[in-house]
Amino acid sequence: MAINYDKNSGLITIETAHTSYQMLADKKGYLLHLYYGKKISGSAEYLLTFLDHGFSGNPDIAGMERVYSLDAQPQEYPFYGSGDYRSVCFRAKGNTGADGVDLRFVSAEIKDGKYELENLPSSYTDNASGEGVQTLKVTLQDINIGLKVDLLYGVFPENDVITRSVLVTNESNNKVKLEKVQSLNLDCMPGDRDVMYFHGRHEFERQPDRMRVGHAKIAAYSGRGGSSHQFNPFAILMTPDADEKHGEAVGVHFVYSGNFLIDAEKDQNEMVRLTAGLPEEGFEWILHSGETFTAPEAVMTYSESGLGLLSRRIHRFFRKHICRGAWRDKERPILINNWEATYFTFDGDKIVDIAAQAKELGVEMMVLDDGWFGKREDDLSGLGDWVVNEKKLKGTMKDVADRVNALDMKFGLWFEPEAVSEDSDLYRAHPDWAFKIPNKPMIRGRHELILDFSRNEVVDHIFEMMREVLDNANIIYVKWDFNRSIADFYSAELPSDRQGEVAHRYVLGVYDLLERLRNRYPELLIEGCSGGGGRFDAGMLCYTPQIWCSDNTDAIERIHIQYGTSFGYPSVTVGAHVSAVPNHQTGRVTPFNTRGTVAMSGSFGYELNLGLLSDEEKHEVTEQIALFKKYRHVIHTGDMYRLTNPQEADALLAAWMFVAEDKSEALLNLVTLNVHGNLGSRYVNLEGLDEDASYRDETSGMIYTGSQLMNAGYPVRDFTGEYQARQVHFVRV
């Protein structure tokens, strides 16, 4: 069994293939954390020490025993008011208006299979698959204001993954105000730790930032309504010696697409704590008698052998237990998007013409972007009016889709369901459906307002408009965009004392609409987008198995963006396209081959005007598509290895590779970043191959052993010039 509970000692042990996780319900009724790391035998209770640290509060149940303080012990689920002055996961007020919970252990229950969360995305398993997945429910009881707190743990032994969530039930006769409900806490015994967050901005997302955890809180946070370009809801806590191959590391994903907080701190006793979940800022929830609040899920993964192994464990888990639906294991179609070719200036004939040109080159799907609906000729109007502009298209959407399908191409469509333009029929009819704070000037973003998806009638209306379009044309793909941050959280439907619920209710509304689309159109492929990568998170991946990685399509910038993304997300989830040069975002000119090589490390496509390409470039498109179809399986289902760090000062090469799970083939990708005179040969040590096997370089015909390529290295010769790219395919012989 993956989970064991010893009622006599209070020890709870979770085991996966390579890890152990232990907690202890101690004799005073508090739940302490003991250990998370490489698999051990026996109890880790011996690690606990009890000393009088001074100014650390002692719970009443300890009597005059000054050495017992929750401020000095590792906690499983710390709560405010316990005498623990570090970051806490839980805070609530009863009818006295005072913070006052006291959570005590009640029981532990073990079940086969994985728990499910109401109205929230979460990881899943096929319980008939024999994976041995189990659920642990630990129940804590608040003895003061009458709350029950259930800590849920989903254990995936083969994946070395433990998931976490929390249910809070009001068992009192009075309403309770929840002020903080986070999903995960991890306390580490005294010692140094580093934390890696992934920061960024629009057009430069998920840049790794590694810091030593010191005696102050370090936080990744979003209060923007979405998970944001600025911080990603993923973090890595690691030992200072951790690199790609060595050291211990824990990865934490928050499976949520709205505001979040992940913070880390070292306390007075040199213990390190990391918490993850909903932020305290901007969150309140009124819980009436008998009601239950469900916290979003957190996913936790451990590696005993560095960051590379951590990423590969996460990638495998996400591909099979986060992404879901008909497209989870299907080959994603190679697409062309009309945006950079036409912007708002197009008609149905132009779209079909682009599709015809693309089909000749091997593209598999045509995507019609912004401007097909309502009165939408620029970004000042039309959002919210999801009615086909048949005059502009010179026909119905079905006409356009059928003409594209007749070319043996799939057809896709762009939506921005959460936004509304002030110049729209929807806004004129329902101005109260947009987020606006009474008596306060509005905050606009990209000339847009955001619809109040905390209201069921708003979600109902948008679903019906989308349904009318999707029901009447053969559309197999939707690009779902979300193009601004939210500032004015206010719902005209909720009373003043419940406005703190709006941000979370909004995200629940987004998930509700996605779930409705998934149920009605099970074969529909939805690609997430938020000005590129502004909502690239595990919550969205439960509905949108690929996400547009960034609006920045510059190949060299994308190397950095996709490098950071790879720490927490598999390549199959990364939307990546070849675009025109000079690049729209940076003005940089890079070779067509380089743009293709970088974009192939994701779900591949094109974002340019094919009519402007030379015959030579069109030939390159045909060759790129053929290569991607050849390599697609190993890129999307193989193991990824980061061979160099392109962010190092004066890095010469960006090098990364994909290796088939059975080690039968591998694809090495190389891009020159900096050029110097008289460099000579360079050598890249490959990873993940079978040491005892031989591999043929399909380009040169040379045969190497796996041990040679991994230990002596692969020579990179005759490879000069800035921003040049090379792909090397190795096949086991």
- Residue 26 is encoded by which pair of tokens? 């101690």
Decide if 617 is catalytic: yes
CA distance 588 to 595: 11
- Contact call for residues 445 and 422 (beta carbons, < 8 A): no
CA distance 364 to 278: 40
What's the full length of the chain, in residues? 733
Q: Using the structure block, give the residue that is written with the tokens 């007075």.
A: 268
- Residue 399 is encoded by which pair of tokens? 């006409």
Q: Is 717 helix (H, G, I), strand (E, B) or coil?
A: coil
- Residue 328 is encoded by which pair of tokens? 């989870």
CB atoms closer than 10 angstroms to residue 127: 11
Q: Is 35 helix (H, G, I), strand (E, B) or coil?
A: strand
Catalytic residue, candidates 209, 422, 617, 690? 617
Decide if 537 is catalytic: yes
CA distance 722 to 319: 35
CA distance 243 to 625: 35
State the burial class of residue 413 (Cβ atoms within 10 Å of its Cβ: 0-12, 13-18, 19+). buried
DSSP 419-434: EE-SBSHHHHH-GGGB
Catalytic residue, candidates 15, 131, 205, 537? 537
Closest to 361 measured CA to CA, from 592, 553, 610: 610
What is the residue type of 596? G
Q: Using the structure block, give the residue that is written with the tokens 């996961």.
A: 89
CA distance 41 to 168: 33
| CA atoms in the 13 A half-sphere facing the CB of 102 | 11
| Alpha-carbon distances of 571 from 332, 501, 558, 641, rounded to whole Å | 12, 35, 13, 11
HEC string for 57-111: CCCHHHCCCCCCCCCCCCECCCECCCCCCCCCCEEEECCCCCECCCEEEEEEEEE
- Contact call for residues 454 and 425 (beta carbons, < 8 A): no
CB atoms closer than 10 angstroms to residue 23: 28
| CA atoms in the 13 A half-sphere facing the CB of 294 | 15
Catalytically active residues, by annotation: 537, 617
